[in-house]
Amino acid sequence: MDIMEFDGIEHNPVPAQNFDIFAAQRVSFILNANQTVGNYWIRAFPTGGDPAGNPNYNPDLTLAVLRYKGAPAVEPTTVNTPGHKLIEGDMHPIEEPGKLGSGPADVAITLNIGQPNPPFFDINGISYLSPPLPVLLQLLSGAKTPQDLIPSIALKTCGKVFILPPNKLIEISIPGTGLHGHAFDLVRPSNADELNFVNPPRRDVAAVAGGNMTFRFFSDNPGAWFLHCHIDWHLEVGLAVVFGEAPAENVEGPQAQITPQDWL
């Protein structure tokens, strides 16, 4: 098969026999149906986690049948042959590859994940809790710094909300999460040894398997954007932060979030 799309973004096709896909990611591929007419297993193998935590898991249920026209309606007998696995960093976007360049980022943020008090997670020492008033509404009310946000304890707020200046190159290093409001250039996929600023893959959900990853985006979309783990219970126990992007531009200007009066 030729893999040609990550998270709704077209990439140059790359041939592979299998690929990893993580929670909330999307992948499209073109299947070359050039085999002998018959029935073939499509296999999905969940990985990670503690099997004891999911006693109902049955690997025989993560299967599907690819049946060629004219083949009998019987179960396949094909065996698992993993073949060539897609390397995420080999995917290159068709439009504007490397558009963010290789220069230093205007804002570089490292988000360190910890779990000192299981099952709760924290990022930079703070476990995320939803504020009593949504961050976007606070920005629209004039909040421009973490200290302006409620709860008013600056240390706790700074751990949950990062204010980003407008129209700047932002670089984030963090284990796997998804960022709303932006597709990003994945300049260092999970476990990669080198940074790629020329033609990195572009997507909106990335994962880490035992190592760090780095992504970049341009802060040209004012709003309050949630960066969080897409494993639901990880989010529930605090694995998230919010980026308050371009606070002043949320209130006025062409991208303001306030509904114009002539729309009412």
More confident residue, 68 or 49: 68
CATH of the domain at 217: 2.60.40.420
Hey, what are 41's tokens?
């297993």
Q: Are residues 55 and 164 in the same domain?
A: no
Report yes or no on 168 lying in a domain: yes
30 and 124 part of one domain: no
* Structure confidence by residue, pLDDT tens digits, 195-235: 999 999 999 999 876 667 899 999 999 999 999 998 899 99
Residues 116 and 84 in one domain: no
Counting the structural domains of the chain, the total is: 2
Per the rule left: phi > 0, alpha: psi between -120 and 50, beta: everything else, 148 is: alpha
Which of 90, 119, 142 corresponds to the end of one domain? 90
Strand-strand pairing, 169-173 and 2-6: unpaired
Q: Indicate if the pLDDT at residue 49 is higher than 80.
A: no
List the structure tokens of 5.
């799309």
Question: Which DSSP letter does residue 127 get?
Answer: -
Same-domain check for residues 80 and 117 = no
Residue 102 falls within a domain, yes or no? no
- pLDDT for residue 159: 55
Is pLDDT at 46 greater than 90 in this prediction? Answer: no
Picking from 90, 121, 153, the residue at the C-terminal end of a domain is 90
pLDDT the model gives residue 178: 63
User: From CA 188, how far away is CA 196, in angstroms rounded?
Assistant: 6
% pLDDT > 70, the chain: 90
Q: Which domain holds residue 10?
A: 2-90
pLDDT of residue 187: 96
Q: Which of 56, 90, 124 is the last residue of a domain?
A: 90
The amino acid at residue 238 is: G
Domain contains 98 = no
Confidence class of residue 254 from pLDDT cuts 50, 70 and 90? confident
> Where would I find the H helices in 21-147?
135-140
Q: Is the pLDDT of residue 176 over 60?
A: no
Distances in Å between the alpha carbon of 236 and those of 110, 130, 139, 217? Answer: 22, 10, 24, 26
Q: Which residue matches tokens 């980022």?
A: 105
Q: Which residues contact 92 (CB under 8 A, 6 or more apart)?
A: 11, 12, 199, 200, 201
Q: How do residues 108-165 score in pLDDT, each as one tens digit?
A: 999 888 888 899 988 888 888 888 888 888 888 888 887 787 765 444 544 578 999 9
Residue 100 lies in a domain: no
Give me the pLDDT at residue 262, please: 74
97 within a domain of the structure (yes/no): no
What's the rounded Cα separation, in Å, for the pair 121 and 142? Answer: 30
Q: Give the model confidence (pLDDT) of 6-34 as tens digits.
A: 999 999 999 999 999 998 999 999 999 99
